[in-house]
Every structure is written in C-alpha cells, then in structure tokens.
C-alpha cells in the first residue's frame, strides 16, 4: 500500500468516527497535501511531530504578528523569539495532546497497521 493509499484509508477511517473534517484535515495539512508534501493526518502523526510542527507554525505566525503589533518597541528580538518559542511549545503540546486523545478515544490503529 502506498503512502497516498494509506492516507486515503486513514481519512476514510477518520470520517467514520463522525469527527468534523476540519479536525482531522486541518487547513495547514490540506495545503501541504495540495503542494505535494505527503504528511500524515494529525491523528496518525507522532506526538513529537505534532508538537514541533504545530508549535513551530504557531510560534512563527503569532510571534511575527506580536512583533509587528506590540513587541517591536518593548522587547529585544531575542526576548520576542524566546517568548514566541515558549508559546509555540505550549500550544503545540496542547494540540498534540488533543490529537493523541482523539486517537485513543476512537481507538484508531497506528499508521503501520493501516491497510492490513
């Protein structure tokens, strides 16, 4: 089974759980798929991958917005980067926990067990 076929099987399985599609196909993941980047649906990605990817995106976007709106005259760039990184780590960890909980709640198999 190819990675694309596994992803399709995972999406069909997730659809049967009655979760909202926006939960298991977030906008960023759909955009990556559209660009040809093959990433797993978040419920099938590792906790560490979800933490780092979601937290990194959040830290970069939120940190940039805060720098442009508020921090540019209040914090040094290193203080702003540290604050954004900590916020990203917290947010990424919370979101990774949400996906891990959903995987456990719906008794989803591991990525390697899909299609067997």
Per-residue pLDDT tens over the stretch 60-98: 999 999 999 999 999 999 999 999 999 999 999 999 999
CA distance 63 to 108: 34
Instruction: Print the domain residue range for 47.
Output: 3-113
Residue 42 · residue 99 · CB < 8 Å? yes
Q: Give the orientation angle of helix 47-69 with respect to helix 77-105, to 10 degrees.
A: 140
Reported confidence tier of residue 114, pLDDT bands at 50, 70, 90 = confident
* Rg (alpha carbons) of the chain, rounded to whole number: 17
Residue 92 · residue 53 · CB < 8 Å? yes
CA distance 109 to 37: 23
Q: How many domains does the chain have?
A: 1
Say if pTM beats, i.e. exceeds, 0.95: no
Per-residue pLDDT tens over the stretch 20-69: 999 999 999 999 999 999 999 999 999 999 999 999 999 999 999 999 99
45 conformational bin, left if phi > 0, alpha if psi -120 to 50, beta if neither: beta
Nearest to 89 by CA among 78, 79, 101, 97: 97
Nearest to 29 by CA among 5, 11, 47, 2: 11
């Amino acid at each position: 089974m190819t990675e694309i076929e596994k992803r399709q099987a995972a999406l069909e399985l997730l659809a049967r759980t009655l979760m909202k599609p926006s939960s298991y196909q977030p906008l960023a993941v759909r955009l990556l798929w559209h660009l040809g980047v093959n990433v797993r649906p978040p419920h099938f990605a590792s906790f560490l991958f979800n933490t780092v990817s979601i937290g990194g995106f959040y830290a970069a976007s939120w940190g940039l917005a805060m720098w442009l709106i508020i921090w540019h005259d209040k914090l040094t760039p290193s203080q702003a980067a540290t604050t954004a990184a900590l916020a990203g780590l917290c947010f990424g960890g919370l979101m990774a926990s949400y996906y891990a909980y959903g995987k456990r709640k719906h008794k989803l198999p591991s990525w390697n067990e899909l299609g067997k």
